[in-house]
Structure 1
């Protein structure tokens, strides 16, 4: 089974990205093919070097775990450009994507979750 998770919210401020990553990592344990597409403010979820206080969740670490479990991660190119981060350092395994790629992922997924 292939599950696509589309995240639209920033990594911190709400818990949408956090809950999306919790689900992604659980699905990765269940041998599900996980794809994650980061749009709008969620483009910043893939930035490398996030430094959160001890005891607080860290989206970068959660994303790295997903990648280690085989998840594919794409960042909306126009969303990243609009936020001035298109050329930033991203988590290893995350790459800039496009609307045609997202459209293809949607059409080839068994389930699509949005956050």
Structure 2
């Protein structure tokens, strides 16, 4: 099976990129593929559990569900810090990472899809 990497750079409630990442990752996991997701720039906001969101589109919970299914999810620590997000604001299985973790992900995956503006 393939190892799919995704980079989410856009905010969760400005574009539908976060929703696409969640649906694509869920489908890939269901088909037996490995999935790694790196939250970068405003993409880190999707993992913030302190945002008051509608239940049907709570991206933090949707990302946690992906992690529960085996997706590796990391958020850029500098991007998070600059947006006032601490690692306590993330779901349990979402790691505060660095650009080094991003580079490691790029080395491990078979394909990368970048979700930007």
TM-score with structure 1 length normalisation?
Answer: 0.91
2:33 is aligned to 32
Residue ranges of structure 1 left out of the alignment (5+ in a row)? none
Between the two proteins, the alignment pairs up a number of residues equal to 114
Shift >4 Å, 4+ stretches: none
Partner of 2:57, secondary structure, is coil
Q: Does 1:5 align with 2:6?
A: yes
Q: Does 1:98 align with 2:98?
A: yes
What is the alpha-carbon distance in structure 2 between the residues aligned to residue 39 and residue 92 of structure 1?
Answer: 18
Q: 1:29 to 1:87 in 2, by over 3 A?
A: closer
Q: 1:20 to 1:78 in 2, by over 3 A?
A: same
Query: What does 1:72-111 correspond to in 2, within 5 Å?
Result: 72-111=72-111
User: What CA deviation, in whole Å up to 9, does each residue of 1:44-69 have, x standing for no partner?
Assistant: 11112443335x42212210111111
CA RMSD of aligned residues (A): 1.4
Partner of 1:12, secondary structure, is coil
Residue ranges of structure 2 left out of the alignment (5+ in a row)? none
1:48 is aligned to 49
Hey, which of these two has a bigger chunk of helix by percent?
2
TM-score with structure 2 length normalisation?
Answer: 0.89
Partner of 1:36, secondary structure, is strand
2:58 is aligned to 58
Contact 2:60 2:90 in 1 (8 A): no
